[in-house]
Each structure stands twice: as structure tokens, then as C-alpha cells.
Amino acid sequence: MTGSSSTSPVWHPFSQHQLEPVFKQIVRTDGAYLIDENGRSVFDAISSWWVITHGHRHPAIMQAIRLALERFDQIIFAEYTHEPAEALARGLIGLAPPGMAHVFYSDSGSTAVEVAIKMALGFFHNNRAPRSRVVVMEHGYHGDTIGTMSAGERGVFNAPYAPLLFDVDTIPFPEEGREQQTLDALERFCRGGEIAALLIEPLVLGAGGMKMYSPHLLTEFRRITERYDTLLIADEVMTGWGRTGTLLACEQSDITPDILCLSKGITGGALPLAATLCTAEIFAAHLSDDRSRMFFHSSSYTANPIACAAALANLDVWCKEPVKERIQAVADMHHERLVRFRPDPRFSNIRQQGTIAALDLAVETTGYLSEVGPRLRAFFRQRDLLIRPLGNVIYLMPPYCVTESDLDRAYGAIEEAADFIRKAAS
């Protein structure tokens, strides 16, 4: 049954129920598709908010979940451990950049970053050289908990909660031709000796508008933070698991962060799970005979065994299936289809990083609250396409099982949408 604001008690995320009262029910998922209550197949062009990597209900991951259900439910992780968590930690460290040594589990991207911020502050506190400030990048988004909102772009997302947020230092986004301004700002902040960590989304800022920057800047960020003994936190919640063309975005700069945040595609999108990886030095700063120096963070569902089993199966898929080839194929399909948009005056800032493609619709009002956003979503929904623009920014981030015909439909609809919006405005 279709849910509406008048009949359903459910409060949906990032939804203005007064304006969007009807929510179709999804009754099944399969590959790159969501099947709704009317039997219509909807192409999931944004991987259900960037979590689905290989495709919905990948057989190996589903089987791992079924097997885990025969043995486990939740286990208190402060008192015990279990093999799915142990094996997954070893697997994650094996895939991560050299130098990662420990894994702390949580249950969402926001909590993965909260954990990272607390690790960074705890590192300096326990080493009796306290630093209390964090540097972030303009337009960044790291989640919707208090700490991650504090670290994200200030604006409509978090204005009601401003009294709860702590201050951070912000470097400008490295726009092409103005990259040095960003590097100079970072160095200026770090030179003061109060910065505990630089927290960034590597290569692509997701919710901030799919803004993209060059890998060489990530190398420079690492160089500057190392010079001033500042920690580097890489928020790879969205960029990880192949989205930027490599397993992790950090690989393209050949750097090792001090702390690495993973979630979303860690289970292939099947179940919620997050992991915050850190170096041995950060773990050691919390290691002591003094119980007050322990890391004070937990979640009731830390290291859920069934989610860990799904994540282990995901690692196995990466090892045994041609995932990298599929990612390259998606990137190539994007590249071929974006060509026709570059000379089109209805669009600007045509860009791509791996499996992520984005373009800005030329309209008078831009930004997340641009009135064109809901109109575009409705237009795509009528064509059985899950495309959820960030205001006037249209992006595609499909599962790696996407076909050429799937993308042809999506790109064709984007062209049609530009005509639709232009006619409505005239």
C-alpha cells in the first residue's frame, strides 16, 4: 500500500512531507532495480544513496547473511569478540593503505566520522599535548550527528542546531586555478599548533554538490599535515569501495591517512556497518594501565556479526569477481555519454570521477534548495528512474551491474528534463 503523510506514521529522511505526501512502497530489489508495489521496475541510478555497489541482493552476500543468521544475532562487543569481526578487521587492514593497524566498528558513516574525530582528540589528550581544533573543507558533508554536523558546511542542513555545534576551521574548496589558496590556508592553520586533524572527503565532496578535485592536492594535504604533526582523517564513507575508480580514493594519491572512515559499500549495501581504521600510534595513545585513557565510545550494535559476515562476503566478491573491470566499464560508459553534454548551454561543469558523473543544470536559482530539485525528482520518478538531484546538480552513481541501456535511459531523461524545465520557465 502506498504510504502518505496522512495515513502513515513514518517520518522519512530529507523529506518535506507537506510537499511530498506520497511514498511508493518497494516490494523487492534486484540488481540495479527497485520493484514497486505496482510491479514497476525503477532503475536505481544513485545506488540507494550510494550504498549498493555490486547490485541489489548480490547472491554471495545474501548467502553469507543466511548462514550467519543460523549462528548469530547481536553479541556484546565490549565483553566478547567473534570470528566475523576478527576476519573482517584483518581483511580491511589488508585492503587499506599500508600503515593501518586497528579497526573500530560502528554502524553508520556518521558514527564512523564521530569515532575518527574522538580518536584524533584523544590521541593528543592522552599524549599530554592537547589540540582541540579540526580543519575541514568548504562544502564538506560528514553526517548528521552533532560532531559531523559541526564538521560539515553550515547552512540550511544544520541551522536549527547551531547552539550545539562546535567551531572548526575551514579551508576553501580548491577550485581550478585557485588550488594554492587552499594549500596556503591549510598550512596557515596547521602552523599555529592547535590543529588536531584535517578531516576531508578525498577527491569528491558528495552531498556538497559532487565537487571534484585533483589527486595531487590530496598528496599535498598529506605533506602539510605530516610537516606539522597534524592527523589526516580520510572520510571515505562515500568515496570508498570503488566509487572514484579505485577501491579507495586515497590510492590515487598513494597516501596513508592516520584515520580512515568506511561505511556504505562495506557490506555491498546489504546491511548497516561502519569501520574506522587507524594507525598503531593512535591505538597506542589509548593503551595504558590507566582505565581513564581508554577510548570512550560504543554502540549497542557494534560489530554486529551478521553485518560483519555480509562485509566479509563483500571482500570475497572483490577478490574473486572482476569488480575492477566492471568499475572501469561504468566509468567508460559515463565518459562516452557525457560528451554530448559538454557543448550544451543548458548544462555546465560536466564532471566525472570513476563511477560518479555529475552536471549542473543551468537555472536561475542554484543550491540544494533550488526549486528545480523537487521538479526534477518528480520528472525522473515518472520515468521509473531513481535520480535524486542535489538542487540543480544532477548526478549518477549507479551499481556496478548497470548496463548500457540503463545509462542510456538515464542520460536520455536528463536531456528531456532540461527541455521540460526550460519550457516550464518560459
pLDDT of res. 1: 44
Q: d(Cα 213, Cα 267) in Å, to the nearest integer?
A: 27
Residue 364 binned pLDDT confidence (cut-offs 50, 70, 90)? confident
Average pLDDT over residues 112-130: 96
The boundaries of every CATH 3.90.1150.10 domain in the chain are 3-54+322-425
pTM score, whole prediction: 0.96
The CATH code of the domain at 60-320 is 3.40.640.10
pLDDT of res. 6: 64
Is the separation of the CB atoms in 114 and 143 below 8 Å? Answer: yes
pLDDT of res. 371: 86
Task: Write phi, then psi, for 81 (nearest 5 degrees).
Answer: -130, 180
| Unique residue bearing C-alpha cell 589528550 | 125
Smallest Cα–Cα separation from 207: which of 274, 156, 276? 156
Is the separation of the CB atoms in 241 and 247 below 8 Å? Answer: yes
Average pLDDT over residues 325-331: 98
Cα angle for residues 27, 29, 35 (degrees, 5° grid): 55
Summarised one tens digit per residue, pLDDT across range 195-251 is 999 999 999 999 999 999 999 999 999 999 999 999 999 999 999 999 999 999 999
CATH 3.90.1150.10 fits 3-54+322-425, yes or no: yes
Strand partners, 169: 135
Q: Which three cell numbers stand for residue 408?
A: 542510456
Residue 117 binned pLDDT confidence (cut-offs 50, 70, 90)? very high
Average pLDDT over residues 393-418: 98
Longest dimension (CA), the chain: 72
Give percent of the chain above pLDDT 70. 98
Q: Does residue 358 surpass a pLDDT of 90?
A: yes
Task: Write phi, then psi, for 234 (nearest 5 degrees).
Answer: -100, 110
Residue 20 binned pLDDT confidence (cut-offs 50, 70, 90)? confident
